[in-house]
Amino acid sequence: MKIKVDKELCIGCQTCVASCPESFQINEEGKSVAISQDEFPCTMKAVATCPVGAISVTREE
Ligand code: SF4
């Protein structure tokens, strides 16, 4: 799967990192970045908890 964080939308609240540190990390700009393209059990939960909908997921068929 392809996981992408929209840096313009991300407010750096760290909710996704708290929900799923396997998938997300806060970078030096204070924004979240996807650190893996693998799906972990917590990945979609983290995507759903983003308050601004900054994380997009594309599944490759
Ligand atoms: S939950 Fe959303 S707004 Fe908050 S750090 Fe993660 S991507 Fe950014």
Q: How many CB atoms lie within 10 A of CB 38?
A: 11
10 C-beta closer than 6 A to ligand 1? yes
Output the CA 12–ligand 1 centroid distance in Å. 5
Mean pLDDT across 35-40: 97
- Parse the chain into domains and list their residue ranges: 2-58
CA atoms within 13 A on the CB side of 44: 5
pLDDT computed for residue 60 by the predictor: 77
Determine what percent of the chain is predicted with pLDDT higher than 70.
Answer: 98
CATH of 2-58, one of 3.30.70.20, 3.40.640.10, 3.40.50.300, 3.40.50.10860: 3.30.70.20
Pocket test for ligand 1, best of 6, 25, 52 (most atoms within 8 A of CB): 52
Q: Whose CA is nearest to atom 3 of ligand 1?
A: 10
Q: Give CA 37 to chain center in angstroms.
A: 10
Residue closest to 29 by CA, chosen among 8, 50, 46, 49: 8
Written as one letter, the residue type at 51 is P
